[in-house]
Amino acid sequence: MISKTKLRELVAYKQQKRCDEEDVFVVEGVKLVEEALKEGVEALAICATHDWYASHCDTLQGRQLLELFELSESDLERLSGMRAPNQVWMLTRRISCHYPDSAPLTLVLDRIQDPGNMGTIIRIADWFGIRHLVCSHDTVSCYNPKVVQATMGGIFRTCVEYTDIVAWLKSCGMPVYGAMLDGKNVYETKLETPAALVIGNESKGISETVASCLTNRILIPNYGGTCESLNAAVATGILCAEFCRIDN
């Protein structure tokens, strides 16, 4: 069982600042924790109900975990950042960034702010086998708890890099595509790979400085003629499908 002192210590990781300072992040819920363990992340502590431990003895056997605690549902609720705590909470090291030197498509995110969008974009990247995301410094942290939840495990299989994306785009040596309202119909454009695909802010789009780095402006045509714009994550999925189609 867990002591009150230790529980208070772990509850402090609900604060993003604490996680940032110690280079760790929190993973919650049966599916995400199972995905993390399957991918071999470095778990520092696991807090779970008796039922969860009973059904995961084999999974944990032989793993180097610093601390395991069995919690009551009320203690897990206190520790959890979710509205409905889901059996297991894990504290883990942040993931070392490794990505292939050359890949058909690299996603570049310019000021994505919504955690749900960010997490869904990482999930989309995982679906299409895109392993490298390059993000502006003012893009929401991929370790934000809401982002982690929305990735549905994709966070463990993608490299998310935060950098000066203007400098990165200028030196990447690839065609740079960007989703722009004044772009050319993507279905009538000959797409080339390897390439970088820029997705802009949910309401403001791609910033002027980043837009100056684009070599190709593309557009998902508005066949309905009613909506003003597409959700950033939805647009990412459509465009990734097009790039992956021509590459396979």
pLDDT digits (tens, 9 = 90+) for 120-148: 999 999 999 999 999 999 999 999 999 99
Integer Cα distance of 27 and 19 in angstroms: 12
Clarify whether residues 45 and 143 are in a common domain: no
Contacts of 6 (CB under 8 A, 6+ apart): 69
Judge whether residue 3 has pLDDT over 70.
yes
144 token code pair: 């934000």
Q: How many domains does the chain have?
A: 2
In a domain, 88, yes or no: yes
Range of the domain at 142: 105-247
In a domain, 223, yes or no: yes
- Average pLDDT over the chain, rounded to an integer: 92
pLDDT band at 64 (very low <50, low <70, confident <90, very high): low
Kindly give the pairing relationship between strand 176-185 and strand 216-219: parallel
Kindly give the pairing relationship between strand 24-28 and strand 88-93: antiparallel
In a domain, 99, yes or no: no
Contacts of 234 (CB under 8 A, 6+ apart): none
Whole-number pLDDT of residue 246: 75
Clarify whether residues 140 and 165 are in a common domain: yes
pLDDT tens by residue, 201-213: 999 999 999 999 9
The answer to whether residues 149 and 156 touch, using CB atoms and an 8 Å cutoff, is no
Q: What is the pTM of this model?
A: 0.93
Judge whether residue 217 has pLDDT over 80.
yes
Contacts of 244 (CB under 8 A, 6+ apart): 104, 105, 128, 129
DSSP assignment string, 140-198: PPTTSHHHHHHHTTGGGT-EEEES-HHHHHHHS-S-EEEEEEEEEEGGGS---SSEEEE
Check which CATH number belongs to the domain holding 70 and give it. 3.30.1330.30
Clarify whether residues 158 and 239 are in a common domain: yes
Q: Among 94-98, 104-108, 141-145, name the one with the lowest average pLDDT.
A: 94-98
Clarify whether residues 79 and 113 are in a common domain: no
Clarify whether residues 88 and 186 are in a common domain: no
